[in-house]
Structures are given as C-alpha cells and as structure tokens.
C-alpha cells in the first residue's frame, strides 16, 4: 500500500482528489470546514516537499450540468484560509483551460479545479474523461475517503493511468488504518455497538461483523425487532416484522461463533413520537400498546457500561435512541461517555457511518474517541466487508 510518505514531490505536480463536498450557507459561505481541514496535511506535505497541488473535488449533485450555485469557486477563499496559502481557481476541471492553468502553476502553489460533477462522465467513470484528468498532474493522490465507495473517474478510474505514481493521502491512510484496527488487528475483546433505526439497513454489517467481534451491543430502533422475535411485547415501537426470522438467525449465528449479544433489557417508552410525550421506564419486552421505546433504560445502560469498559477495541455505529429529541438523547450521551472512559483507559474507539457521527459531534465526543470517520457511506460499506473501489484502485 503506497502512501504519500513514499513520495517526494519536489518539482512534481500532485493531482489530489479531495472531498470538498462541504455545506454552503445562503450566501455561499462554507458553514463547516472539517473536510477542508481533513485534507490539509496532505496538501501541505506536497508543498513542503517543493511541489505544487492540483485539487479536484465534487460539490453537491449537479448531475452533469454546469450549475453556478455549486461552483467550487465559492469555497476557494475558505480553502486559502484553512491552508494559509493563496489558492488559485480555474473554471474547468479538464481540457485546454484546465491544462493551461496547471502548466502555469509554480511549485509551492495550489490550484483548485471546477466541480468534477459538472461532467456526467465523472460519475459514470468514463475512461476518456479519466484520461483527460491524467494530464493535470505527475502523481495521483487519493485523499477523498468520503467518495472511496464510488467507482467514479476521479476516485477510481484515473488511478490506472498512474501505474507507479499513485498513493493514498494522509486522511485515506488514517481511515484505512482505523478500519483495519477494528476489523483485523484490534486488541481483544472487540466490541461493536450497532444502533440506529432499522435492522434492514444494518443487516450486512451485522453479518460481516460477527466474525470479527467478541461482543455485540444492539441498540436503538433495531432493538424491537430482536425483542419481538424472542417473544417480547414491543407495543408501538418501531419494528420490522418481516425481519424477525433474520433477527433470530443472527442470534443463532452469534451463539455459534461465541459472540455475546447484548440487547436492551429496559427502555424509556413514550406515548407519542415527540419530545414532550409522557414517558415511563418499562422492560423492553413488556411495552404496553400505545407506547413506543425511544431510548435505552437505566438497567440497560448499566449493562452497556460494564461491556464497554471491558473491551479494548470499540466500534460505534448508530445512536441507541432518538437522540434528535433532547428527552431521548440520554442513552446515546451515556454510551458516548462510557466510550470516552474506555478510551481514556487505553481502548481504541472508532465512530463511523451515518448518524452516529452527527450524534458524536452534537454531544462533543469528537475529541474523546480515538477516531471519527469522515465517510458515512464509505465507512458503512467498509464495515460490510466490501473492498472500496477507490482503495482497490490504489492497491492494484
């Protein structure tokens, strides 16, 4: 696996695929600079080596049409501020105009190309378009984990035109290392905490993860499919009746593989899906009709705490309650605090995929866990055991 550390960029132009798909406010200002900051170490390394950086990214979903609202020019000023270097912008991402801008680029300079997705050839993974991109740099660096699960021209296809001169940037390397640590090389006991709304969206992850973990905590809306499958009463809780057989199959497989599964024993039940609903603590298998479980109960959290504190490697994907409502966020906050404590005691903790990252940021756990993945979909696919095309293209 070649990383950016394997190259010296002196007098070289690095063509870097970054993920600058950042949120913009009504006045086209960047409202969250995280993704730009995440790519900074890679860009700075190229410049410090004495090279220049050509940055390519997508922004939003322009669906192959030029859309001024989604021009990367809007973010150029912010990228300059974050990098501490004046960034140039070119209004094309391929062809003569882009090639001229690259040719005029001096070492130590940074050039930002226009939105790749103004061309439908980007998302279709067009060979010719990818070959055009090849003309814009000497070494291809992929640092866009957020799009690594897409076989697009700039994330995957372009790599084959740089058979020797291709590598991962620092962000990609960190993401890959974090996943490996959980899925392959993690110190035992290994724990996965899977929450979120539905079993159906997590099923492939659960099946894949059963081979890697010693403990599995199931939380959130998924709880009720498992509880009902085991004969419990779940009232009006979210439940996928057609997935109950699957839930039993998962429990059977887990037992076979020696994985201990921990399911909530009590819940905070509400008489409405609303923050101001009436609540009661009930056993997770005796929720009255008209009530629905919206958060983990106190005995459950005690159990979770005991498991989390004994594990050396922890993966967290999905909230254990409806964290968007203050009154049902306590379980998710408690789980975050237990992971914080475990991390302080030396455990490795990875948070990633979908809404768990939003929850972690909202409650300030970002600094407290070992690593927060920057890629929602890419992380989920990694946890499902898939080889991401953007990663395979650099390895191959």
> With binding defined as CB under 6 A, does residue 294 bind ligand AMP?
yes
Q: How far apart are CA 209 and CA 183, in angstroms?
A: 8
Catalytic: which of 198, 260, 312, 386? 198
Q: What are phi and psi of 394, to 5 degrees?
A: -80, -35
- Interface region with ligand AMP, contact rule CB under 6 A, candidates 47-55, 97-105, 110-118, 317-325: 317-325
Is residue 117 a contact partner of residue 64, using CB atoms and an 8 Å limit?
Answer: yes
Count of residues that interact with ligand AMP, criterion CB under 6 A: 16
Q: How far is the CB of 186 from ligand AMP (least distance, A)?
A: 22
Pick the closer one to ligand AMP by CB: 99 or 324: 324
Q: Which is nearer to ligand AMP, 78 or 237 (CB)?
A: 237
* Residue 270, strand partner residues: 279, 292
- Closest distance of CB 257 from ligand AMP, Å: 24
Among residues 315, 356, 320, 332, the alpha carbon closest in space to that of 218 is found at 320
Count Cβ atoms below 10 Å from residue 184 Cβ, excluding itself.
Answer: 8
Q: Is 356 helix (H, G, I), strand (E, B) or coil?
A: helix
Distance in angstroms (rounded) separating the CA atoms of residues 308 and 62: 43
To the nearest whole angstrom, how small is the minimum distance from the Cβ of residue 212 to ligand AMP? 19
For the CA atoms of 154, 159, 162, 165, what is the dihedral angle to 10 degrees? 100
384 binds ligand AMP (CB under 6 A): no
Report the run of H or E that residue 152 belongs to, with start and end: none
Nearer CB in complex with ligand AMP: 136/383: 383
Residue 198 annotated as catalytic = yes
Q: Is 354 a catalytic residue?
A: yes
Give the active site residue among 12, 13, 17, 35: 35
CB of residue 201 to ligand AMP, shortest distance in Å: 5
* Smallest separation (angstroms) from ligand AMP to the CB of 330: 12
Q: In Å, how far from its chain's centre is CA 129?
A: 27
First to last CA, the chain: 9
Q: Is 355 in the site for ligand AMP (CB under 6 A)?
A: yes
What part of residues 207-226 is at the interface with ligand AMP (CB under 6 A)? Answer: 220-221
Subset of 324-343 contacting ligand AMP (CB under 6 A): 324
Q: Where are the beta strands (DSSP E) in 148-291?
A: 166-168, 190-194, 215-218, 233-234, 260-262, 266-270, 279-283, 286-287
Peptide bond into 189 cis (omega under 30): yes
Q: Which of residues 234-253 bind ligand AMP (CB under 6 A)?
A: 238
Q: How many CB atoms lie within 10 A of CB 326?
A: 10
**Which is nearer to ligand AMP, 153 or 270 (by Cβ)?**
270
Residue 8: its H or E element: none
User: Closest CB to ligand AMP among 36 and 246?
Assistant: 246
Between 16 and 268, name the residue whose CB sits nearer to ligand AMP: 268
Residue 15 Cβ vs ligand AMP, minimum distance, rounded to whole Å: 34
Q: Are 29 and 166 in contact (CB under 8 A)?
A: no
Q: Which of 197, 244, 248, 277 binds ligand AMP (CB under 6 A)?
A: 197
Helix (H, G, I), strand (E, B) or coil at 385: coil
x-marked contacts with ligand AMP along 55-74 as a string, rule CB under 6 A: --------------------
Residue number with the shortest CB distance to ligand AMP? 196
Active-site entry in 354, 368, 375, 390: 354
Distance CA 168, CA 191 (A): 28
Is 377 among the catalytic positions? yes
Region binding ligand AMP by CB under 6 A among candidate stretches 51-59, 69-77, 140-148, 314-322: 314-322
Query: From the CA atom positions of the chain, what is the Rg in Å?
Result: 23
Active site residues: 35, 198, 354, 377
Binding footprint of ligand AMP on the chain (CB under 6 A): 196-198, 201, 220-221, 238, 293-294, 318-319, 321-322, 324, 354-355
């Amino acid at each position: 696996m070649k990383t950016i550390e394997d190259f010296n960029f002196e007098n070289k132009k690095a063509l870097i695929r970054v993920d600058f798909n950042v949120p913009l406010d009504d006045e086209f200002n960047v409202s969250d600079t995280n993704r730009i900051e995440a790519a900074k170490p890679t860009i700075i390394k190229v410049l410090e080596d004495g090279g220049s950086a050509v940055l390519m990214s997508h922004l939003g979903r322009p669906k192959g049409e030029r859309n001024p609202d989604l021009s990367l020019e809007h973010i150029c000023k912010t990228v300059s501020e974050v990098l501490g270097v004046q960034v140039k912008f070119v209004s094309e991402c391929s062809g003569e105009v882009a090639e001229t801008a690259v040719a005029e680029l001096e070492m130590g300079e940074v050039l930002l190309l226009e939105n790749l997705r103004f061309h439908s050839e980007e998302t279709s993974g067009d060979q010719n378009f990818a070959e055009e991109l090849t003309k814009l740099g000497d070494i291809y660096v992929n640092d866009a984990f957020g799009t690594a699960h897409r076989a697009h021209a700039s994330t995957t296809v372009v790599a084959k035109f740089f058979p020797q001169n291709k590598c991962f940037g620092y962000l990609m390397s960190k993401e890959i290392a974090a996943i490996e640590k959980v899925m392959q090389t993690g110190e035992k006991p290994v724990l996965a905490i899977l929450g979120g709304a539905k079993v159906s969206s997590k099923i492939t992850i659960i099946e894949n993860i059963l081979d890697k973990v010693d403990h599995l905590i199931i939380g959130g809306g998924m709880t009720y499919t498992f509880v009902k499958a085991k004969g419990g009463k779940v009232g009006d809780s979210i439940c996928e009746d057609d997935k109950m057989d699957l839930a039993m199959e998962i429990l059977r497989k887990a037992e076979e593989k020696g994985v201990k599964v921990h399911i909530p024993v009590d819940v905070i039940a509400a008489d409405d899906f609303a923050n101001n609903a009436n609540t009661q603590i009930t056993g997770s298998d005796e929720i009255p009709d008209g009530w629905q479980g919206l958060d983990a109960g106190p005995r459950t959290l005690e159990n979770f705490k005991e498991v989390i504190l004994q594990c050396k490697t922890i993966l967290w994907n999905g909230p254990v309650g409806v964290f968007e409502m203050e009154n049902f966020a306590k379980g998710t906050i408690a789980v975050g605090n237990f992971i914080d404590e475990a991390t302080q005691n030396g455990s490795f903790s990875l948070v990633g995929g979908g809404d768990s990252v939003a929850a972690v940021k909202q409650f300030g756990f970002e600094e407290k866990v070992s690593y927060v993945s920057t890629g929602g979909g890419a992380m989920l696919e990694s946890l499902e055991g898939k080889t991401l095309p953007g990663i395979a293209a650099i390895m191959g």
